[in-house]
Structure 1
Amino acid sequence: MINKRTLHRVAVFVSVASTICILLFCQTSTRSFLTDSCVCNCAMDSEDLLWFSQRYKPSANVTLNTKNSRLDWQTYWWWRSLQNESTVANYNKVVEVLLSLFPDKEHYSDSSPSRCRTCAVVGNSGNLNGSHYGPLIDSQDFVIRMNEGPTDGFEQDVGSKTTHRVIYPESAVDMDETTHLILLPFKILDLQWLISIFTTRHIDLTYMYVKPSIKADRNKVMILHPAFMKYIYESWLQSHGQYPSTGFISLIFALHICDEVSVFGFGPSKEGAWHHYFEDFGMDSNGGPHDGDFEGKVISKLHQKHRITMYKGWW
């Protein structure tokens, strides 16, 4: 008799194989039975597209560069209020130094009807434990992780590939030369810290101890735009909570740079517990400045509308 563990592994294998076949099909087929120009992410009908287009802003400034770094008054004060920063540093002067050190360009602006970039957004939920999603995650073009989420020792469930890691000073970790460091700045001091870790290495304190230096490739640094954070908060979250979580920002970031988005490691475990796959202690899904319940509803809606594929870790 086949036991439940064997059935689970067979189901995961079938899911991985099916997804890889779908990805290959997307890359070689125009799916003309739906639209002449669609090559991937073709499942959305007109109602789904309407819901999505009411929230998605294709012209949003995703990352900082010289052309878009100036902030309007409303964006500046919304952003400055996120952590009640007391610093008197001049934002424009800090950004000028910042963009002299790191790539000053618009990233991933090559969108076209013929592009089919697949991305995995990998959260840190304990529902990844025992999921066997590793091969599926690693099969994506981009693998976006956040904060300290490790891969060593967890490869079978979370994969080993990381192309982008979203961090802020308080969650920084070392990265290898294949990974893009994506800074999620909540304050001017975060921008100054990014400068410091590659130059003077003198900043080791924000509202807590932070690493004065980390291993990362300076040529692969990206900085998320404060206006992008505000757009996510207002357009996607309808101003619920104080500001979006790192996970939710990472997911919307993926929607802007990828054509197909698969989401892993979000939400509770099958038993309803909230914890990290690499830690045992629990946490509150709705704690802190984020409205976790509302974020979860939006993510579920994106899945229902066929704009992302959500993997829960169980069947």
Structure 2
Amino acid sequence: MYFKRGKFRVRISPLLSITAIFLVSILLWNLSGYTFCHRESKLCACHKCLTDSDPWFNDIISESPKPFMSQKHKPSEEDFNWWKTITPIADVEEPRPDRCRSCAVVGNSGNLRGSQYGPLIDFHDIVIRINRGRTKGFERDVGTKTTHHVMYPESATRLDNTTYLLFFPFKTPDFLWLLKSLIPGENGAPNSNKIANKDLVSILHPAFMKYVHDVWLRKKAAYPSTGFLAVVLSLLMCDEVNVFGFGADSEGNWSHYFEILTDKRLKTGGHPGEEEYKMIVKLHMKKKIFFFKGW
């Protein structure tokens, strides 16, 4: 794309144009649900906070326990026993009136291929990636920035020293795996299995897993996917949430942008994929998130 200035023609990068279009789309989307009147005291500094004027959303969020385990927030015996059937810690920062914290939750759906969402994803304050999601070789579509990475042992990938590990333990041996992956080797030697900075680790609370399973997904299937858990978690971590890379392919499989799917019978595994997708769409329609569906 070009425009004239005096005797010169200036080229505008297509990627910058796409990013600008998306940013304007988000602004117009938010404005469409906003009434220009006297503004009441708000929990965040965003143009529109997640908890603004929606009884359904406020009711479902108010039922959430604290999502991370900490000394202040311990699971009940009932919650802990449920967590076991599927079987110092940071807490979520509360909203502040002087801050608008934007988050991109980046799933691994094949619909990210060719999306050119990369610059838009990198524009966010927090970028959450999931399981084996990667950026190298896919920068144009998924960006380069990662501030938080969700994983469990079977989906683990090495993180750099500045990326937060959001650890989702689905079974009790996962804790032993995490310990072995963080502690120094014998006699203080470097740990060849180290996957993350031990000071940047948060462990998802089992009560939060059960809350998502019971309240958001109405106890469908055995337990939620890591991706959907990350979406609900972002609603508590962030003031503005945009979701990328979710949804099955045309055959109903959860295919990934970084690999070719070989098991055509995969579908959505043991997770309630259809229910999760419907809930993401519902949040989009209620203007609580903006859902980018790819191409």
**TM-score range, shorter-chain basis?**
0.7 to 0.9
String of CA shifts for 1:250-285, please: whole Å, max 9, x gaps: 001100010100000001357876410001116567
Matches within 5 A, 1:101-140: 104-109=89-94, 111-140=95-124
String of CA shifts for 1:104-163, please: whole Å, max 9, x gaps: 342323x12332110000000010001000000000000000101110010000000000
Match of 1:242 among 213, 216, 222: 222
SS in 2 for 1:56: helix
Q: Which whole-Å CA distance do the structure 1 matches of 2:226 and 2:59 have between them?
A: 22
Unpaired stretches in structure 1, ≥5 consecutive residues: 1-7, 84-98, 203-210
Per the alignment, residue 244 of structure 2 pairs with 264
Per the alignment, residue 140 of structure 2 pairs with 156
Q: CA deviation at 1:76?
A: 1.5
Matches within 5 A, 1:275-290: 275-281=255-261, 286-290=267-271
CA contact (8 A) 1:121 1:264 kept: yes
Q: Which whole-Å CA distance do the structure 1 matches of 2:102 and 2:148 have between them?
A: 13
String of CA shifts for 1:46-89, please: whole Å, max 9, x gaps: 8x7122123113762111112223x3221122111114xxxxxx
Match of 2:76 among 62, 72, 78: 72
Per the alignment, residue 54 of structure 1 pairs with 59
Task: Tell me: CA distance 1:37–1:284, structure 2 relative to 1, closer, same or farther (3 Å).
Answer: farther
Match of 1:291 among 247, 250, 272: 272
Matched, 1:12 2:21: no
Match of 2:158 among 163, 167, 174: 174
String of CA shifts for 1:219-258, please: whole Å, max 9, x gaps: 1111110001011111111111111100000001100010
Q: Which whole-Å CA distance do the structure 2 matches of 1:199 and 1:280 have between them?
A: 35
Aligned residue-pair number = 272
Q: Which whole-Å CA distance do the structure 2 matches of 1:195 and 1:143 have between them?
A: 25
Per the alignment, residue 216 of structure 1 pairs with 196
SS in 2 for 1:54: helix
CA contact (8 A) 1:126 1:275 kept: yes
Per the alignment, residue 313 of structure 1 pairs with 294
Q: CA deviation at 1:15?
A: 2.4
Q: Which whole-Å CA distance do the structure 2 matches of 1:17 and 1:242 have between them?
A: 37
* Greater shift in the superposed pair: 263-272 or 184-193: 263-272
* Greater shift in the superposed pair: 135-144 or 172-181: 172-181
Task: Tell me: CA distance 1:194–1:31, structure 2 relative to 1, closer, same or farther (3 Å).
Answer: farther
CA-based RMSD of the aligned residues comes to: 3.2
CA contact (8 A) 2:213 2:219 kept: yes
Matches within 5 A, 1:169-208: 169-199=153-183
Unpaired stretches in structure 2, ≥5 consecutive residues: 1-13
Task: Tell me: CA distance 1:152–1:34, structure 2 relative to 1, closer, same or farther (3 Å).
Answer: farther
Task: Tell me: CA distance 1:168–1:213, structure 2 relative to 1, closer, same or farther (3 Å).
Answer: same
Per the alignment, residue 87 of structure 1 pairs with none
**Percent of aligned pairs with the same residue?**
42
Q: CA deviation at 1:212?
A: 8.0
Q: Which whole-Å CA distance do the structure 2 matches of 1:68 and 1:43 have between them?
A: 25
Task: Tell me: CA distance 1:273–1:112, structure 2 relative to 1, closer, same or farther (3 Å).
Answer: same
Q: Which whole-Å CA distance do the structure 1 matches of 2:230 and 2:159 have between them?
A: 17
CA contact (8 A) 2:106 2:127 kept: yes
Q: CA deviation at 1:187?
A: 1.5
Letter in 1 for 2:180: S
String of CA shifts for 1:187-236, please: whole Å, max 9, x gaps: 2211121111122779xxxxxxxx98233111111111000101111111
CA contact (8 A) 1:269 1:313 kept: no
Letter in 2 for 1:293: E
Per the alignment, residue 253 of structure 1 pairs with 233
Letter in 2 for 1:42: K
Per the alignment, residue 39 of structure 2 pairs with 35
SS in 2 for 1:113: coil
Letter in 1 for 2:293: K
TM-score of the superposed pair, with normalisation by structure 2: 0.81
CA contact (8 A) 1:16 1:135 kept: no
